[in-house]
Amino acid sequence: MKRFDKVTPEGTRDLLFEDCAVRQRLTNRLTELYHRRGYRQIITPGVEFYDVFTLPSSGFPQDSMYKLSDNRGRLMVLRPDCTIPIARLAATRLAGMAKPLRIYYAQNVYRMEQSLRGRLSEIWQAGVELIGDCSLRSDLEMVELAASSLAGLGPGSRIELCHIGYFRAVIDSLEADTDTKEEIRQCVEQKNYAALGNILDRFPGDPAAAALRKLPRLFGGEEVFEEAAALFGENGAAESLGYLRDIYEALCRLGLSDQILIDLGLVNQAEYYTGIVFRGYLDGVGEPVLSGGRYDNLLRDFGEPCPAIGFAVELDPVAAVTEHLPSPPADALVFADEKHLPQAIQCIKELTAQGKVVENCLLDDVSQAIAYGRQQGIPLLYVAGEDQKPLDLTVEGGGDR
């Protein structure tokens, strides 16, 4: 039988020193931003009950979850999403807290990738949720915070913005069955013009079909609103466009006009999202690194109706294109012979209390310690039990004994 004791499972990897440093640096930038904006951190369990992700509004694909059972035979999953457990938490333990709730997190999610496109199954995310408000104010706050998050991660950021209400108004007007509507949604999302055209050819003369045919191309700036309104303005479509335009204009007044694009073909998880939807991109990363939107029905499924909006940032794709700086050497090396080992530990504690990075030397001879310190680029050597100043290993002949 083949053993898998020296490799990691598909979709996972070991992170080495500089990889960890880059990820932590990026995470710190985001969490510091969220903290300063009034958001408070939570951590949800890495293992959740399967039932948490099978609620009507979750819209989570069941075949993407890692499933296991506990010692009582109950079906569990590795956390495949952060928003749904936060909704559970907000509807239970946090139900009595004053609204709005501002929450942030930084933790892994686990999703089984079926497409074998090289995507990770273990995904490090940082994100925010704003629970308890459904106004233009909270939507604007969230999109601007998403833009600020991207700006803090790298150059060349952009946000694509949509309102799912426009697509819903159009697709609901089409006389088609549920399966056909889902096929259309997927074609619009993937911008698969050929397949979309083949499906819509079945509906000649239908204004909804005509609008859906052009939906993947409704992408750009302010001109998109007029074009979309001319294509379809019934069943709430005009209201959705008007609301989206209000947000877009407010973002432009904030100086974000070069970073915000309207994409009315952004229709992923149409049953999950209830209002604005957005994605974020960075130069040099060939996939979205941020996704979010309004999901006002999710907490209702947990018995606590409450509007909410949020987004998550996937940091590993960003880390892959971020400069990896070499880890700096320790500030000092402490050596002791066997008689002075406690003094060495005390010296280390005193130096670290001063904010220095200190390494305990495990070699038996001071000359070996000097050679090791120079090899590692450590500038100072402290010899425990001696009252003299530390040896300067950067100076020619310094520390020679």
- Model confidence at 43: pLDDT above 80: yes
Which is more confident, 46 or 5?
A: 46
- Model confidence at 270: pLDDT above 80: no
Mean pLDDT computed over 48-54? 94
Mean pLDDT computed over 103-110? 97
The phi, psi pair for 296, rounded to 5°, reads: -80, -10
Q: Do domains 1-154+291-319 and 332-392 have the same CATH topology?
A: no
- Model confidence at 241: pLDDT above 90: yes
pLDDT digits (tens, 9 = 90+) for 149-172: 999 998 899 999 999 999 999 999
**pLDDT for position 254:** 96
Burial of 185 (0-12, 13-18, 19+ CB in 10 A): buried
- Model confidence at 229: pLDDT above 90: yes
Paired tokens of 346: 């005390």
- Model confidence at 353: pLDDT above 80: yes
**Cα maximum dimension of the chain:** 94
Which is more confident, 388 or 181?
A: 181
**pLDDT for position 399:** 58
Separation of alpha carbons 253 and 236, rounded Å: 26
Burial of 77 (0-12, 13-18, 19+ CB in 10 A): buried
In the chain, where are the structural domains located?
1-154+291-319, 158-281, 332-392
**pLDDT for position 166:** 94
Separation of alpha carbons 293 and 142, rounded Å: 9
- Model confidence at 267: pLDDT above 70: yes
**pLDDT for position 113:** 76
pLDDT band at 118 (very low <50, low <70, confident <90, very high): low
- Model confidence at 115: pLDDT above 70: no
pLDDT band at 230 (very low <50, low <70, confident <90, very high): very high
pLDDT band at 103 (very low <50, low <70, confident <90, very high): very high
Residue % of the chain over a pLDDT of 70: 97
**pLDDT for position 117:** 62
Which is more confident, 398 or 296?
A: 296
pLDDT band at 133 (very low <50, low <70, confident <90, very high): very high
Question: 189: left (phi > 0), else alpha (psi -120 to 50), else beta?
Answer: alpha
Q: Which CATH number fits domain 1-154+291-319: 3.20.20.140, 3.30.200.20, 3.30.420.40, 3.30.930.10?
A: 3.30.930.10
pLDDT band at 344 (very low <50, low <70, confident <90, very high): very high
Mean pLDDT computed over 377-384? 96
Residue 185 vs residues 146, 190, 245, 382: alpha-carbon distances, Å:
25, 9, 23, 67
Separation of alpha carbons 208 and 65, rounded Å: 35
Mean pLDDT computed over 51-69? 87
Indicate the fold that domain 332-392 takes in CATH.
Rossmann fold (3.40.50)
Question: 330: left (phi > 0), else alpha (psi -120 to 50), else beta?
Answer: beta
Angle at 336 between CA 335 and CA 339, to 5 degrees: 180
Mean pLDDT computed over 104-127? 86
Domain 158-281: give its CATH superfamily. Answer: Bira Bifunctional Protein; Domain 2 (3.30.930.10)
Mean pLDDT computed over 290-301? 95
Considering the entire predicted model, what is its pTM? 0.91
Separation of alpha carbons 262 and 241, rounded Å: 11
Which is more confident, 193 or 270?
A: 193
Contact 34, 127 (CB under 8 A): no
pLDDT band at 374 (very low <50, low <70, confident <90, very high): very high
Query: For the chain, what is the HEC assignment?
Result: CCCCCCCCCCCCCCCCHHHHHHHHHHHHHHHHHHHHCCCEECCCCCEEEHHHHCCCCCCCCHHHCCEEECCCCCEEEECCCCHHHHHHHHHCCCCCCCCCEEEEEEEEEECCCCCCCCCCCEEEEEEEEEECCCCHHHHHHHHHHHHHHHHCCCCCCEEEEEEHHHHHHHHHCCCCCHHHHHHHHHHHHHCCHHHHHHHHCCCCCCHHHHHHHHHHHCEECCHHHHHHHHHCCCCCHHHHHHHHHHHHHHHHHCCCCCCEEEECCCCCCCCCCCCEEEEEECCCCCCCCEEEEECCCCHHHHCCCCCEEEEEEEHHHHHHCCCCCCCCCCCEEEECCHHHHHHHHHHHHHHHHCCCCEEECCCCCHHHHHHHHHHHCCCEEEECCCCCCCEECCCCCCCCC
Separation of alpha carbons 70 and 283, rounded Å: 43
Which is more confident, 100 or 268?
A: 100
- Model confidence at 223: pLDDT above 90: yes
Q: What is the mean pLDDT of the chain?
A: 92
- Model confidence at 400: pLDDT above 70: no
**pLDDT for position 323:** 86
Mean pLDDT computed over 93-111? 96
**pLDDT for position 62:** 83
Instruction: Name the amino acid, one letter, at 256.
Output: L
**pLDDT for position 397:** 63
Nearest to 171 by CA among 232, 245, 238, 218: 232
**pLDDT for position 84:** 95
pLDDT band at 398 (very low <50, low <70, confident <90, very high): low
